[in-house]
Structure 1
Amino acid sequence: MQVDFDGFAGIRLIGDAIGQPSDPAILLLHDIAQTRRAWRNAADALVRTGRYVLNMDLRGHGDSEWPLDGQYNIDAFSNDLRALLAQMSRRPVIIAHGVTGWLVLRALAADAHKLAGGLVLVDPASSFSADIDGICDPRIAGALDLTSAIGILSRNASGFGIPVSIISGDKIERDVHRVHDGLATATVDGPADHNIALESHVPNLTSLIDGIQANLACVYRLGGSTRTLRDMMGCFATGVTVVTAMAPNGEPIGFTANSFTSVSLDPPLLLVCIVKDAQRAQSYTSAGHFAVNILQADQQLVSSHFAMKKDDKFTDVAWRRGEYGNPIICDSLGHFECETFNIVEAGDHYILIGRILNASFESWRDPLIYYRGKYRALDFK
């Protein structure tokens, strides 16, 4: 399945998602002057070992966007990677080929443990092929200068908070503690050999990934990775709701939420949580009234639709006004209409507590379930 992510400055990054999203995640990154096609056979082989693989084109390569401003310096590439990793639901093991390994090291230098579970550098190289016509933007050759960057990165590549391994030809270095020392002996002086089929590395890659992922225990301590904490929160299965309200200008607004719970029966209270920097967050906290729509099993598309960042979310959705003017999603399992009872600021969220004014549900419908980043269905066996 083709997927797209927002890179640095909104650049569109295109790739393939292969396998089951619930399986351990792998991010494949091709060398400069290559495309994701170079990893295609290896990606299929990794999926057969029980991995979920994202195989991406870098900016200016293949199907990803070729920026009009020609931004192809090392910071542009590394910021793309940080943006991509921030949008993934789990920390992947990253496998980078050739020069791209240096770009990944730059992207992860400050907080690797928050973004990735491990890193495997395949045939690290000091330069890239000059034969780039057709498959990537020819402006890359003049814009991406690695000469000085490699020296800086190699001196600062130790102390990573994630396992780093290197495959160079037939040699494998596992759990490299001083990354710059390992790179000094493993880096090819010149471009990586693109005639070597990357799928030939799969047996070694599988062995390295097994070791990395065996040590990726989901343990969180105060001050640790927020990604780990989010993954652990995702282990609690929930229903899915769409919270709706009328904005001050009379426009219907809504967002998908699973942070919803009952609070009290007397008085009848419920709560939902809103990220403070979410689109239109202030509109919900100032609306005075809101509705919580509980989605049923056939409304996965509705959930995904209201999770998107766009202004008019109601154009293609069947809805009606409730008794108190709130948008009610048609065919949902049930809904609550509320007046705002209290708003509590808690960390990076607002807790919106509502007094329930009316509610209804259709008992013959089954709920939409969300667990570990994936929609699920009830099993009555």
Structure 2
Amino acid sequence: MTASVDTRLQPQQLRSAFAAHPAGVVAVAADIGGRYVGMVASSFVPVSLDPPLVSVCIQNTSGTWPVLTTSATLGISVLGSHHGDVARSLARRTGDRFENVPTELGPAGAVFIAASPLHLQVAIRDTIAAGDHHIVLLDVLDVRILSDHAPIVFYQSGFHTLRP
């Protein structure tokens, strides 16, 4: 006997299901013509050790991503448990996302969030259309492990900290 599957899932039902999966939070940022441009992503995934690759998923409707793609390199900062305000600031739809956000300028335009547990300097390798998002494959050019702060996670539509 074959079970039938309802393929008419509602967006809100999927959003609730996906919210049940805790995910790390990263900032993706660059200096574009003297202005810091950035966003948060909770779909960061290590992909490969050889060659060193990571990926993020970006909504097709993002107005920030097309601007970031003009940079030779991007900074990815894994946000720590103390970065709740930073994550909320970088997730804003309007205003200066970097207001009161401590940053460090890296090589070739990469921007990093200060006091993050991990900084990755990356360059875009490929972009793959995937429904209402794009999967962006990134070459890892440099890695700096900076602290042992616990990461912040996105879970049930909010930012939370992990306890060891």
Aligned residues: 160
Q: How does 1:124-139 map to 2 (within 5 A)?
A: none
The structural deviation recorded for 1:262 is 0.8
SS in 2 for 1:304: helix
The answer to whether the 8 A contact 1:324-1:337 is kept is no
The aligned counterpart of 2:13 is 228
Q: In structure 2, what is the Cα distance between the partners aligned to 1:303 and 1:373?
A: 13
The structural deviation recorded for 1:341 is 0.9
Q: 1:343 to 1:288 in 2, by over 3 A?
A: farther
Q: 1:245 to 1:224 in 2, by over 3 A?
A: same
Q: In structure 1, what is the Cα distance between the partners aligned to 2:38 and 2:17?
A: 26
The structural deviation recorded for 1:337 is 0.5
Q: TM-score, normalised by structure 2?
A: 0.89
* Amino acid aligned to 2:46: S
The aligned counterpart of 2:77 is 293
* Amino acid aligned to 2:155: Y
Q: In structure 1, what is the Cα distance between the partners aligned to 2:6 and 2:146?
A: 42
SS in 1 for 2:108: coil
Q: In structure 2, what is the Cα distance between the partners aligned to 1:283 and 1:221?
A: 38
The answer to whether the 8 A contact 1:294-1:332 is kept is yes
Q: Percent identity?
A: 27
Q: Which structure 1 segments of 5+ residues have no match?
A: 1-219
The answer to whether the 8 A contact 2:47-2:55 is kept is yes
Larger Rg: 1
* 1:246 lines up with 2:31 in the alignment: yes
Q: In structure 2, what is the Cα distance between the partners aligned to 1:311 and 1:373?
A: 22
* 1:304 lines up with 2:101 in the alignment: no
Q: In structure 2, what is the Cα distance between the partners aligned to 1:305 and 1:221?
A: 38
Q: In structure 1, what is the Cα distance between the partners aligned to 2:130 and 2:71?
A: 19
Looking at both structures, which has the greater relative contact order when contacts are Cα pairs under 8 Å and sequence separation is at least 6? 2
Q: In structure 1, what is the Cα distance between the partners aligned to 2:135 and 2:31?
A: 18
* Amino acid aligned to 2:22: A
The answer to whether the 8 A contact 1:295-1:332 is kept is yes
The structural deviation recorded for 1:311 is 4.7
Q: Deviations for 1:281-317, whole angstroms, at most 9, x for unmatched residues? A: 2112343321211011011000000000125322321
Out of 105, 111, 126, the position equivalent to 1:321 is 105
Instruction: Tell me how large the CA RMSD over aligned residues is.
Output: 1.7
Out of 140, 148, 160, the position equivalent to 1:364 is 148
Q: In structure 2, what is the Cα distance between the partners aligned to 1:267 and 1:315?
A: 36
Q: TM-score, normalised by structure 1?
A: 0.40
Moved over 4 A (4+): none
The answer to whether the 8 A contact 1:245-1:290 is kept is yes
Q: Deviations for 1:59-90, whole angstroms, at most 9, x for unmatched residues? A: xxxxxxxxxxxxxxxxxxxxxxxxxxxxxxxx
The aligned counterpart of 1:277 is 61
* Amino acid aligned to 1:370: F
The answer to whether the 8 A contact 2:115-2:147 is kept is no
* 1:377 lines up with 2:146 in the alignment: no
Q: In structure 1, what is the Cα distance between the partners aligned to 2:44 and 2:149?
A: 19
Q: Deviations for 1:127-176, whole angstroms, at most 9, x for unmatched residues? A: xxxxxxxxxxxxxxxxxxxxxxxxxxxxxxxxxxxxxxxxxxxxxxxxxx
Q: In structure 2, what is the Cα distance between the partners aligned to 1:235 and 1:352?
A: 23
The structural deviation recorded for 1:321 is 0.7
Q: How does 1:112-261 map to 2 (within 5 A)?
A: 221-247=6-32, 249-261=33-45
* Amino acid aligned to 2:148: W
* Amino acid aligned to 2:130: A
The answer to whether the 8 A contact 2:89-2:98 is kept is no
Q: Deviations for 1:76-127, whole angstroms, at most 9, x for unmatched residues? A: xxxxxxxxxxxxxxxxxxxxxxxxxxxxxxxxxxxxxxxxxxxxxxxxxxxx
The answer to whether the 8 A contact 1:279-1:309 is kept is no
Q: In structure 1, what is the Cα distance between the partners aligned to 2:65 and 2:127?
A: 12
The structural deviation recorded for 1:370 is 1.8
